[in-house]
Amino acid sequence: MSDGALSQDEIDSLLAGLDPGTGGAPKPAAAGKPTAELAAFRDMLDSIGATQAHNLSMITGQDVSLGPVKVDVTTRDGMLPSLPDEILAIRVDMIGGIPGDHIFLLPKDIAVRIASLANKDDSLTDMDEMAISAVSECVSSMTGTQITLFTEKTGNRSIQTEAADGSFGPKAIARFPASEFTRIQYDLTIGGEAFNIWEIFSLSFVKDIAAASGVRPAESQAAPPGGMQAQQQGMGGMAQGGYQQQPMYQQSMMGGQQQPGGYASPMMGMAAPNVQPVQFANLNMGRGGQESGNIGLIMDVYMELTVELGRTKKLIKDILGIGEGTIIELDKLAGEPVDILVNHKLIAKGEVVVIDENFGVRVTEIVSPMERMADLS
C-alpha cells in the first residue's frame, strides 16, 4: 500500500523522461541512416584521430590511441541507455560562422583517469572542481584541433567555440539538444585501458559543415527519373509546347552564325554591341609591402607578461591558517628556471637577475609548441 510518496525508481524514471507507471526503459530513436553528410563528417574526424591521440598523450603522459569513430543520429531517449549512471558533461558550443550545440560526455572512470594523469595526482578518486577543470582543458584541446579542421575544410575562418563548461552528475540531468542530434562515439585507449567517450553535435551543424565542404545531400545527388530525357522535358516541355527543341546550336548575336550550345537566340538581327576589354590593376603591385605592414597594426597593443617563481596546492584549512612568518614551499627547486608567461600562457623560461635595485629575468629558453600543449593541463 503506497503512502503517496515516489520511490527512488520512480524519481529516476521521471528524471530520465520515462513514464513511471511502465517501469520500462526509454524507447531509443531509430539510428539515423548513413548519409553523405554523416559519412563526410565521420571521415573528417577520422582524419585527425592521430593528432587528437598525440595531444592527449602529451597531456596525460601515457600512450593514447583512438579507434575509428562511430557516427549516427539519435535523440535524448536513444542516448541515455548507452550512458553509465554518472557522467561528466562538458559543453563547448560552436559559435561564430557556423553555430550549433556541442557536448562531450565522459563516464566517471575515464574522467577521473584523465584528471589524475593531467594533475599528476594518483590519489584522485572523485570529480571535484579541479578535476573537472583538468578534463575541460583536454576537451578544449580536442575542440581546438576540430576547429582547425573545420576551418580548413570549409574556408570559414569565423568558426569559434564558447568556453568549456563542465558539470558532473547523474546522466538524467545532462542537457541534450531538444530534437535529433549527431552522436559520435570514440574508442579511447589510455595506457592500455580501454574506454568509450561520446561527442554530440547538433544535426544542423553537421549538415552546415558538410555543405560548406562541398558535400551535397544524397537526394540532390540522385539523377532524376528518366535521365537526361526527363530533364529536357522538365526544362520546357518543348516537344509538347507548340515548338520543337532546336538542335544543339544557337544563333550568334554577332551576325547570326550557328554556334554549338543550344537553340536559336531571340536577339538575332540586333546591332552588335561595342565590346571593349576591361583594364584591371596589377594585383601583384605592392603586395609584399601590405603583408609586412599588417603586423604593424598590433605592434602597440599591450599584453601582460608575468614571471612565475613557482606554485603549490593547499587545503582550505591550511590557507586559512596562513599568517605572518608562514613559509610556503613551492614546487620548484632552488636554482631551477622560472616560467615566463604572456597572458597566462607559458612562452619561455629564464633565470632571476638583479638590475640596479630591481629584479629582472634573463631568458634562457624559448618553450617549444609541444611543451606549450603539455602545459595546458
Note the pLDDT tens digit of each residue in 238-252. 444 444 444 444 444
Do residues 346 and 366 make contact, with C-beta atoms less than 8 angstroms apart? no
List phi, psi (to 5°) of 81.
Answer: -60, -25
Q: Where are the alpha helices (DSSP H) in 215-270?
A: 218-221, 227-234
> For the segment 267-281, what is each residue's pLDDT rounded down to a tens digit?
445 565 666 666 555
Nearest to 48 by CA among 19, 68, 21, 73: 68
Domains of the chain: 13-212 (3.40.1550.10), 302-374 (2.30.330.10)
pLDDT band at 334; cut points 50, 70, 90: confident
Q: When comparing pLDDT for 320 and 265, which is higher?
A: 320
Beta bridge partners of residue 94, listed in sequence order: 100, 161
The pTM assigned to this predicted structure is 0.54
- Amino acid at site 155: G
* Cβ-Cβ contacts under 8 Å for 317 (sequence gap 6 or more): none
Neighbours of 114 (CB within 10 A): 28
Task: Give me the pLDDT at residue 14, please.
Answer: 54
pLDDT band at 25; cut points 50, 70, 90: very low
